A and B are shown apart, each in its own frame.
Chain A
Amino acid sequence: MNLTQQLINGLVLGHAYALVAIGWTLLLGVARLVNFGHGQMYMLGAFVTWWAVVKAGVPYALALPIAMAIGALFGLLMQRVMLKATFEQNLVSIMIMTLGFGYVLQGGAALVFGSTGQILDTALSRSEIKLGELWLTQQDLAIVLVAIAVFVGLKWLLDGTRIGRLVRMVAEDPKLAQLAGVNVRRVYYGVFAFEGAAVAFAAGMVAPRTPILTSMGFEEVIMTFVVVVLGGIGSVTGSYVAGVALGLFTALFGALVSPAYTTAACFLVLIAVLVLRPGGLGAGSTAGVH
């Protein structure tokens, strides 16, 4: 096993994890909402991109925005249905409803796209970059660059713009934000639309790496969960670092121990952290986004 090659794999994987988790970071940090439909929305994004590129002949660069638009619309729909529960902070209802949405997507996608696995090939994923004995595809490189760009962009948005300030207000205290004239409902819609678009975008970027199935998505939720929790809920930088770290861990664990149990291993790492240092996850801690 070539260690450097595994490190490269790990870096690519890590940036992929971080990118998939970015929507959740905002959703959880700003609106304190848990979206269990995240995995299925990822699956939907992957399949819409695939269908657009392979079946409808749309160029990849156009397929991505299409997938994002559909993802955003679905996010808006979800938030519309869950609006009352969101304002009441009825987390039990919200969690179960998002599970329901995920299940509907599962059935719907199987109906529309069939149950066989598909491969999403793009020009980038087919073209390899060789550095001596090491290699990665252009798609892999794109994932890394795009992920960095998205994270930097989001951080700048949150810290340096007026909209970012409003979002941070809502994240910290929605009632007080209302008193500042913020339309909190619109912010919640926006955040859910962002989650939909972001996860679809991530799917479009990352899906070319492996075959896609309408039954997929569960492992993505676990990895996202681990990334967000390890990085600190609501922390944009934290999610990035945790994602990359987790990617490296997964690549090494997969190569050294077992490729089938990498998700289980990551989950155990999380459990270890939760048991030893509950930190910001103990009962009564507040959220916020930064």
Chain B
Amino acid sequence: MQRRWLKRLALPLFGLLVFAAPTLLGGSGAVYSAAVLIAIFAVMAYGLDVIVSDLGEVSLAHPVFFAVGSYTTAWLSTRAGLGSWATLAATIVVALLFAAAIGLVTLRLREFVFSLVTYAVGVVAITVASNWAFLGGSDGIRGIPLLDLSVGGLQLSARNDRELWPYAFALLAVTVYLIDRFRRSLLGAAAIMVHLNPRLATMAGTDPARVRLQVFLFSAPISAAAGWLYAYQRAYVSADVLENYFLILMLTAVVLIGRRQLLGPLIATAMVLVQEKFFSLGGNVDKIVLGAVLIVILGFFPQGLMGLLQPLRRLLQRGR
């Protein structure tokens, strides 16, 4: 009984710790900046996590959803003067539209064709974002206003990364909660079934294609919401939000700790960004390191870092 209470408290306690972390680590601008980015990129990765870990497919389109979130927010806030809540709502809607289009086209195709199509969408998106004047062309969209979620008389705005942190944390917390709920839901269970044994799933009355589409639709707005916040954080958006850095980062975040670990993407994103921000070896070497980490994990430690802990855990249990 005691253990169950401890488990129930563990996650919220950890959440409090994470929230206080930037202050505990010195509270400097750089720390808050890193924390906000970690939160944003982790949320971006959680969208992909659901597809890769639960559904078992490789979607290379989530960077596009992230970009869709950023561009929608940028455009609507600068050209149409919409507030932050409105841009968030619009982000979710546009992300769903994109996901629906991609999902319906690839509905009955083989998994690797799905991956190729999503990859192609990403590449085409870069071309469009860099060339289309509507989206600012190669200059992008600048002058995005500050995040302002004020409602009623409550002032909820952020002028810098330090003030942005509570909102970034809130987005992260909501995302983790949603992922957890998804994994406990019927759709989550169906996703696993479709992943592990599509034929069995069909015989159990589940339509794998529909499940794939639904999970895809669930995951897209998550990555897009990360893009929404990113636009406010950077105050400008350009085609470099579609660089394959984000894709590689997301993939690493999903596989580094282990599949289907609730806090995996968060911890992994933190590890990568801390290396990048505080222990960088130069942009290109960092790329080599990140790519190499992805290869080594999948090639030699497919269970992720958690897999390394398994034998250790077994040793500890036996000792008890």
Contacts and interface: CB of A to CB of B under 8 A. Distances in A.
A and B directly contacting (CB within 8 A)? yes
B112 interface: yes
Interface stretch (B13-21, B34-42, B86-94, B281-289): B281-289
Interface string B255-294: 1000000000000000000000000000111111011111
A81 B295 contact: yes
Interface stretch (B73-81, B113-121, B180-188): B113-121
B299 A104 contact: no
Contact of A96 (B116, B286, B294): B294
Tell me the interface secondary structure of chain B in the complex: helix
Contacts of B121: 267
Contact of B58 (A82, A92, A284): A92
Contacts of B64: none
Q: Which one of B108, B128, B283, B284 has the highest number of Cβ atoms from chain A below 10 Å of its Cβ?
A: B284
Interface in A33-67: 34, 36
B210 to A, nearest CB: 14
Interface residues of B, number: 45
A281 interface: yes
A263 B126 CA distance: 11
A117 interface: no
Contacts of B113: 229, 274, 281
B197 interface: no
B127 interface: yes
Contacts of A219: 123
Given A92-B58, A96-B58, A99-B247, A85 B299 contact: yes
A229 B120 CA distance: 13
Summarize A's interface: helix, strand, loop or mixed.
helix
| Contact size range, A | 35 or more
Given A36-B119, A219-B123, A263-B127, A96 B108 contact: no
B248 interface: yes
A96 B298 contact: yes
Contacts of B124: 222, 263-264, 267
Report which residue of B121, B290, B299 has the largest number of chain A beta carbons within 10 angstroms of its beta carbon: B299
A103 B291 contact: yes
B154 interface: no
A111 B285 contact: yes
A271 interface: yes
Contacts of A104: 287-288, 291-292, 295
B119 A264 contact: no
Nearest to A92: B58
B299 A92 contact: no
Nearest to B108: A282
Given A264-B124, A283-B108, A100 B131 contact: no
A91 B52 CA distance: 12
Contacts of B106: 274
A221 B298 contact: no
A106 interface: yes
Contacts of A261: 127-128, 131
Interface of A: 34, 36, 81-82, 84-85, 91-93, 95-97, 99-104, 106-108, 110-111, 218-219, 221-222, 225-226, 229, 260-261, 263-264, 267, 270-271, 274-275, 278, 281-285
13 contacts: A92-B56, A96-B58, A96-B251, A96-B294, A97-B294, A100-B248, A100-B294, A102-B291, A229-B116, A264-B128, A274-B109, A274-B113, A274-B117
Ranked 5 nearest A-B pairs via Cβ: A107-B287, A103-B291, A104-B291, A100-B294, A107-B288
